Structure 1
């Protein structure tokens, strides 16, 4: 006789879910959606395209949050019904389906719980990621491209739109650097724990001596700012260079000088943009990103000054945050949290939620304040 009892597991999930729903405040989100829908219905909205995009993006993000929370609640209800049916019908197939759904729901609710920890000033924004190769020659540039693919695959797995803004290809393998957007609610808050130095140890595919090679790549994550009007940039502080967009091996993908490079002379910050078709579009996109970086730099300097005055100038994040081992032991280990995964291929294919969630929980520990 079939006796499927998942009541304890379901009750634990429901308790966690109720806490999440209280923090997320679905009723409050629905009120925001109603207000945004009213603004979106205004026939004059698109006379200001930038403002219209802000409204529609905010509307989309809040609806997505509501769908996630309500969807998880509905699935919990359905799971209880599924367990009852399995027992009434003594159907092992339905019981197996219920067990599988329980495991899937545990992951879904865990992800939602982690999202409730994201309460930083910019956490709910979309993200702009930059990957830069470090020491290690061809292995490092290849590693940078592997990391770029990893994050883009993670976004694809979650259904998040992405846009590659700029790529600098290496003469040999891989990339010197790349910048791309991930447009999703809380993408910045989630991915900000990925910022830092990543290390790869493997038998190099580019050498003939079969020696172990260690290479490095840096990951930078900043929030996507719709506007950065708090930063005024005098024209004299910017050098503008235009050039032709190019792909791997220098093959031209554009017959006009549409790509733009902005150099902020006082800070040395350089922004390149070649994704858009026209020079005007690329310059506008580059300027927005430059304003964002300067705004964040300003806030970082203010925070550093506060720490200095308080007598604490030790950064809470070390440079090297994670190691990827592809020789002997197959292992990915986060050096901050101790979280490990023994299947690097899956990690490089975008299966990084466990690493990310562990990082978010670690960052919210009292001893990390």
Structure 2
């Protein structure tokens, strides 16, 4: 059946118009002007963290505006291409137009998903923690596989990341790891990954080659910003220092540079050991502790809302996604029903379809 290009192009324009209405291009241009003015200040880099935040936000806002302009131009070009192909009855041109139509549908779908990220903290950068759950050494190995999956996903998109803390398991893999994804909307995007992930495979650590089920928990929280004012009295914090350790428990630092920070009233514990100095680790730990307390404050303000980070048990009965490598190969999200028959690609960071399905599913749940 021949493609009805007139209808398809009209549909593309309608989708883009809806996206532009939600995006509010005038507000986006005003935001770019404001950030450009801040970026031009001569003392900008006196505070490197603040400077990086400004330049990152500016780059992201400019990219968003350019993305809309580019898609509008591509739709115009597609329309011209179809007219040319029809006039000259050129089959090759129509095949090219068909390919561009498919590409435009995908690009608009991705941008449309971004408009669904309208939560209070969705624009924030993200702090992600992965913890090995039930399943022993296989669970620790699974936690490391998930870390690589998310870092590869970020790398594919050019998103900067920073591993803040790594706790290695004795035999293989990780007990836990915490890292930042330092790009706007990282929290809104990755928050649908929070929950219990389940792996089924023939265990490489079992001499008898038996099938093993293991679990890992993923927690995603928004990164604290200076405007949040999450003040923590010194009297409420207990700080312990220790030496950083590597795989197998060996010491990788000859000084007590690693920091464990405990918030006494809530019992929240944050460890940092990946920076070079105790001062840097202390600052990083305080930032993540403030971010976690921000989540607690949000829960207290509106107990009816689902917790931003979630209560993740990492065991049977509450998994949100299964990665099955044996007896068949399948990755399936149990909330959205989205599945992928190539686990290797998923573990290599190809998780956009799962994330997009999760964002759409979450919005549907909110609208019910």
TM-score with structure 1 length normalisation? 0.89
Shift of 1:366: 5.1
- Give the structure 2 partner of residue 346 of structure 1: 345
1:88-141 per-residue CA deviation (whole Å, 9 max, x = no partner) reads 555555444333322222111111111111110000111111100000011111
Distance 1:156 1:90 in 2: 43
Give the conservation status (yes or no) of the 8 Å contact 1:198–1:218: yes
Distance 2:311 2:148 in 1: 28
Aligned CA RMSD, in angstroms, stands at: 2.5
Q: Name whichever of 25-34 and 249-258 sits farther off.
A: 249-258
Secondary structure class of the residue paired with 2:291: helix
The answer on 1:44 being equivalent to 2:49 is no
- Give the structure 1 partner of residue 146 of structure 2: 147
Give the conservation status (yes or no) of the 8 Å contact 1:228–1:292: no
Q: Name whichever of 239-248 and 148-157 sits farther off.
A: 239-248
Give the conservation status (yes or no) of the 8 Å contact 2:299–2:305: no
Q: Name whichever of 171-180 and 224-233 sits farther off.
A: 224-233
Shift of 1:276: 2.2
Secondary structure class of the residue paired with 1:327: coil
Distance 1:256 1:83 in 2: 67
Distance 1:85 1:235 in 2: 71
Distance 1:45 1:348 in 2: 39
Counterparts in 2 of 1:284 and 1:83: CA distance versus 1, 3 Å: same
Q: Name whichever of 267-276 and 52-61 sits farther off.
A: 52-61
- Give the structure 1 partner of residue 223 of structure 2: 224
The answer on 1:235 being equivalent to 2:234 is yes
Distance 1:116 1:90 in 2: 39
Shift of 1:79: 2.3
- Give the structure 2 partner of residue 172 of structure 1: 171
Distance 1:65 1:276 in 2: 33
Distance 2:93 2:173 in 1: 48
- Give the structure 2 partner of residue 19 of structure 1: 18
- Give the structure 1 partner of residue 246 of structure 2: 247
Counterparts in 2 of 1:84 and 1:156: CA distance versus 1, 3 Å: farther
1:201-232 per-residue CA deviation (whole Å, 9 max, x = no partner) reads 11212112232211100000011122265322
Give the conservation status (yes or no) of the 8 Å contact 2:166–2:274: no
Gaps in structure 1 of 5+ consecutive residues: 309-314
1:260-311 per-residue CA deviation (whole Å, 9 max, x = no partner) reads 221212222111222322211111111111111112112113322x579xxx
Shift of 1:178: 0.7
Give the conservation status (yes or no) of the 8 Å contact 1:316–1:368: no
Secondary structure class of the residue paired with 1:351: coil
Distance 1:269 1:17 in 2: 44
- Give the structure 1 partner of residue 113 of structure 2: 114
Shift of 1:54: 3.4
The answer on 1:358 being equivalent to 2:354 is no
Distance 1:210 1:316 in 2: 33
Give the conservation status (yes or no) of the 8 Å contact 2:224–2:294: no
- Give the structure 2 partner of residue 29 of structure 1: 28
Distance 2:215 2:367 in 1: 25
Aligned pair count reads 360
Q: Name whichever of 13-22 and 128-137 sits farther off.
A: 13-22
- Give the structure 1 partner of residue 302 of structure 2: 303
Distance 2:248 2:87 in 1: 65
Gaps in structure 2 of 5+ consecutive residues: none
Q: Name whichever of 210-219 and 259-268 sits farther off.
A: 259-268
- Give the structure 1 partner of residue 71 of structure 2: 72
